[in-house]
Amino acid sequence: MELTRWEERALAGEMGEGMQKAMEIVVAIGEMKDARALIPVQSVQISGVSYKTVGEAGLEFLKDFAALGARISVLATLNPAGVELGQEHGELPPRFVERQREILEVYERMGAEPVCTCTPYLAGNLPRDGEHIAWAESSAVAYANSVLNARTNRESSITALASAITGRTPLYGLHLEENRAPTFAVKVEAELEDVADYSALGYYVGRELKGIPLFTGVEPGVAELKALAAGLATGQVSMFHVEGMGEGRRFSTAGLEKVVFGEGERRSVFEELSTCVEPDVLCIGCPHCTMEEVERVLKAGAEREVWVYTCRRNKDAVRSGMEKRNIRLIADTCMVVQPLEEMGIGSVGTNSAKCAYYTRNLSGLEVWFGRTENLLKARW
């Protein structure tokens, strides 16, 4: 792999041990992927932020990295933490809170922005058309590639951090134009009435197929695209096209293998992901809600307790007087990376297939996956 003079010097340790270690990681991945060079990145989204997913080993790794003098050189935002910053919510074990604070302190010391959200593009980290970035949050990766036309592979927490420090990523995969064309078409015949339906569509396709889908028969808005991206990313899909939208305008379904997503497929996802009917709490905001989604939920009101997750910027923008009984707005964290199981929660209701999947498989909770309106109107 060809390196610039600056990259060679960084690799040789001339810019300190922290930079050297980060460059070693980026170069090792580049060699493994047969990249011909490294390219500069404009921003990074770092995953591996909640103590629930990072654990002791991850915290020690971060501390060691920081102790080597590693400093972040580009705009870097963080994934949701395990707690709401400065306002620990629920009955959280003190040890968890303390460790979470340590993780955030280390990231901030290295130079990350204290913005903890999986929708960085709604919170000040908005890449421009065609920009190369190195993001790790899978739903944000799919959204950035497909909706914002930025270019990123799906980074791990370690490679994203290494890119944040070096400001570089290897040139391979979705950074290359030739790898961004659709590889199969999905004809949507089901009626998609809610973000939960888009989420189910993404989950179904991401679980069944690999590659880059071109969707036909849908007209999603921002919230629906976000839900679709997260559903797809729950499987292995990191980019998609929608016929007639953005880059999707350049492609047609001619010559592509076709898959149909009908009413049967839509229902099958809701049935597969639901294991209970009367959850302890309803969770909306996976990925974090847009301001419009927050306002819609507040306007609709709720019969049961609903936790609505969003970025700090949106939570702070909610005007006093808009609050509603039963609805709690939560920033900086999410229902999947919060230790819900240690907070006495045994089951959740959600309108997100990604949330349903991980809440069951990561946290071992029971789940009701339903449309937003059904969640908000549910009584028992």
Q: Is 78 in the site for ligand F3S (CB under 6 A)?
A: no
Binding residue count for ligand F3S, defined by CB under 6 A? 15
Among positions 23, 161, 188, 230, the unique one binding ligand F3S when judged by CB under 6 A: 230
Alpha helices in the chain (DSSP H): 5-11, 17-32, 51-67, 94-110, 138-146, 157-166, 195-208, 222-234, 263-273, 291-300, 312-317, 353-361, 372-377
Q: Write down the least CB distance from residue 53 to ligand F3S, Å.
A: 10
For residue 37, the 8-state DSSP code is: B
Q: Is 122 in the site for ligand F3S (CB under 6 A)?
A: no
Among positions 20, 77, 79, 347, the unique one binding ligand F3S when judged by CB under 6 A: 79
Q: Which range binds ligand F3S by CB under 6 A, 123-131, 141-149, 187-195, 354-362?
A: 354-362
Closest to ligand F3S by CB, 106 or 331: 331
* Whole-number Å distance between alpha carbons of 78 and 44: 9
CA angle 336, 337, 342 (to 5 degrees): 90
Residues pairing with 213 in the sheet: 184
Residues 6+ apart with CB under 8 A from 61: 158
Q: Write down the least CB distance from residue 10 to ligand F3S, Å.
A: 31
Q: Which range binds ligand F3S by CB under 6 A, 19-27, 153-161, 207-215, 283-291?
A: 283-291
Q: Write down the least CB distance from residue 142 to ligand F3S, Å.
A: 10
Q: Is 355 in the site for ligand F3S (CB under 6 A)?
A: yes
Q: Write down the least CB distance from residue 360 to ligand F3S, Å.
A: 12
* Whole-number Å distance between alpha carbons of 95 and 109: 21
For residue 124, the 8-state DSSP code is: T
Among positions 139, 153, 157, 159, the unique one binding ligand F3S when judged by CB under 6 A: 139
Q: Which range binds ligand F3S by CB under 6 A, 56-64, 96-104, 193-201, 350-358?
A: 350-358
* Whole-number Å distance between alpha carbons of 62 and 80: 17
Among positions 121, 172, 358, 369, the unique one binding ligand F3S when judged by CB under 6 A: 358
Residues 6+ apart with CB under 8 A from 91: 342, 343, 344
* Whole-number Å distance between alpha carbons of 246 and 240: 11
Q: Write down the least CB distance from residue 1 to ligand F3S, Å.
A: 32
CA angle 350, 222, 225 (to 5 degrees): 65
Q: Write down the least CB distance from residue 358 to ligand F3S, Å.
A: 6
Alpha helices in 209-283 (DSSP H): 222-234, 263-273
Among positions 80, 120, 127, 202, the unique one binding ligand F3S when judged by CB under 6 A: 80
Closest to ligand F3S by CB, 79 or 216: 79
The residues that touch ligand F3S, with contacts defined as CB under 6 A, are 79-80, 118, 139, 230, 286-288, 309, 334, 336-337, 354-355, 358
